[in-house]
Amino acid sequence: MIRQLSLLHHLLVASLLFPGVVCGQVAPLIANVSARQITSLDGQWQVIVDPYNVGSIDYRAQPLKNNGAFYKNYKPQSPSELVEYDFDASGRLDVPGDWNTQRGSLLFYEGSVWYKRSFDFAKSPKERVFVHFGAANYKAYVYLNGEEIGRHEGGFTPFDFEITNQIQTKGNFLVVRVDNARKSDQVPTSNTDWWNYGGITRPVTLITLPESFIQDYSIQLQKGSRQQITGWVQLNGSQLQQNVSLRILEAGIDKTFQTDSRGRAEFSFNADLQLWSPETPKLYKVEIASLTDKVTDRVGFRSIEVHGTDILLNGKPVFLRGISMHEEAPTRPGRAWSEDDARTLLGWAKELGCNFVRLAHYPYSEAMLRMADEMGILVWEEVPVYWTIEWENQQTLRNAETQLKEMIERDHNRAALIIYSVANETPISDARNRFLRQLIDDAHSADPTRLVSAALQPSGATQAGRVTMQINDPVGEAVDVLGTNEYIGWYNGRPEDTDKTDWTSKFSKPLIMSEFGGDALFGYHGDVQTRWSEEYQESLYEHQLAMLKRISFLRGMSPWVLKDFRSPRRTLPRFEDFFNRKGLVSERGERKKAFFVLQTFYQALHGAPLSQ
């Protein structure tokens, strides 16, 4: 029943996102893809750049159904036949990878690119096969052997389609149209401060599974407990009632459960565990086996709670020494996606003295979350509900809800992950408040064990020469942890204005200063009054940190930002050149002066609360 419901839900969502279209088979997300029997489809794909969508619509703007449709991959049958496209002669791009940084002419390109890859595949009769995409930005239209198999909207979450009945032993061709055109009703909307990297930006894999398989599972500590494991296993297939075993041999756990007619088993039992923490990021090998399938994972166990204005990790107050990030590669241009990228970026955060990263402003690759688990770095992850989304638009809300759901489904077993953020810097209105409250409710019900936040904005008032910043956004009532962005010293006033600024909050909740910062061009020097100089940024950090120390309810910070990143909004020649320069390291990885200010501050803080 659950399976049917969730399939129905997917179809409903799909038909809302793409009205008037009947989708192919839409599969529920399969957990922990890298631990399954997989065949990688990564590598060079043939591509056709199609700015006018001539591969999918005709000159009357009607959908193309004939051999002119690029997904047919049709070849002329005679010298006289007119066919106006040819994958074989149109060049190649790497998958995974954004197209913008692989071909100079595509740096600013926004629109459709068709990707094609051919492959053979030997499948045994009882197996099921799925094609899985880590992410494609922003819309993906997927075709196998000339037929549509499904569509997906949202540039940063995974999706898969079942292709058991379509896949052939020889000569399969998979075609994907990826469209990153910005639209005001999308999530994110058309206005952002980051590069709109298009393409199949994360790995593509074929997953082979038995007819009845373990689709997903949750193995986590019960909220508020440090010894009670609570969770569930969900099977998919025709043999839904099975015995399922759960083994964590290192902790002496070996349990068997019976799934019900919906393929679901829920469990709760006590365990004696070494808890995961940034200091000791202990991961256990977990094995889940049904009669027909088996999957292993590495899972950490920790508790995360809010108590008054404190955040408690494993029952003890923790201060989140963080940094905000973008998912840009550390050592080459473009989107990051690999384990190595994750190791380097999180390594820089560790070098800064961080125990926490804010993965702004959209879901990052699964590799990043798994690396955070390994390296012991707490994570805030976020959906791209950014700035001025269409708050009144129900379809936009459904889209945001789906992206949030897909992010939670993928990451709900990662110990490092403690906070879901539902939005960034969104303007207060009734419609926006309703929209965000819905997302907050969704996150709480999809995953009751983690905390929910949003990066809000304060209001300010000046009296007798002092400024009082107040956290009073009505959405503050619904979140567990307050997040606030502020740019005193960059967009507002000068760095020294922080010396006469005090903070108050309407809510008795912990606060994370989710952004502050200013731009500096690496290697550009001047005095502390000179914009764009490393000295200005250094002084801004010194003043900011002195102010932050005086906020009694501050429990963490994630300054903006780890590394300079590309943004089309940043046009100023010499200093910006289409980069946001608020990084503590340059796009080449060079440390700016402010890096060391924050590092010294975090090193002094290590393990200690900030104030009191």
By CB under 6 A, name the binding residues for ligand GCB: 193, 361, 424-425, 485, 515, 560, 580, 582
Residue 327 C-beta: closest distance to ligand GCB, Å: 13
DSSP letter (8 states) at residue 589: -
Backbone phi and psi for residue 227, each to the nearest 5 degrees, phi listed first: -135, -5
At position 241, the amino acid (one-letter code) is Q
Q: What is the 3-state secondary structure (H, E, C) of 331-371?
A: CCCCECCCHHHHHHHHHHHHHHCCCEEEECCCCCCHHHHHH
Q: Which is nearer to ligand GCB, 449 or 457 (CB)?
A: 457
Residue 581 C-beta: closest distance to ligand GCB, Å: 9
Residue 11 C-beta: closest distance to ligand GCB, Å: 34
Residue 425 C-beta: closest distance to ligand GCB, Å: 5
Q: Which is nearer to ligand GCB, 485 or 544 (CB)?
A: 485
Residue 562 C-beta: closest distance to ligand GCB, Å: 12
At position 382, the amino acid (one-letter code) is E
Q: Which is nearer to ligand GCB, 112 or 514 (CB)?
A: 514
Ordered DSSP codes for 423-442: EES----HHHHHHHHHHHHH
Which stretches within 160-312 are classed as H helix?
A: none
Q: What is the 3-state secondary structure (H, E, C) of 111-158?
A: CEEEEEEEECCCCCCCCEEEEEECCCECEEEEEECCEEEEEEECCCCC
Q: How far apart are CA 249 and CA 252, in angstroms?
A: 5
Residue 569 C-beta: closest distance to ligand GCB, Å: 8
Q: Which is nearer to ligand GCB, 161 or 490 (CB)?
A: 490
Residue 358 C-beta: closest distance to ligand GCB, Å: 10
Q: Which is nearer to ligand GCB, 525 or 569 (CB)?
A: 569
DSSP letter (8 states) at residue 542: H
Q: Which is nearer to ligand GCB, 56 or 324 (CB)?
A: 324
The residue number with the shortest CB distance to ligand GCB is: 193
Residue 520 C-beta: closest distance to ligand GCB, Å: 12
Q: What three-state secondary structure class fits 47?
A: strand
Residue 589 C-beta: closest distance to ligand GCB, Å: 19
Q: How far apart are CA 361 and CA 455, in angstroms?
A: 10
Q: Which is nearer to ligand GCB, 138 or 560 (CB)?
A: 560
Q: Which is nearer to ligand GCB, 32 or 485 (CB)?
A: 485
Q: Is the peptide bond before 333 cis (omega within 30 degrees of 0)?
A: no
CA 567 to chain centre: 18
Q: Which is nearer to ligand GCB, 162 or 515 (CB)?
A: 515
Helix, strand, coil % (nearest 5) of the chain? Answer: 20, 30, 45
Residue 265: in which H helix or E strand, if any? strand 264-270
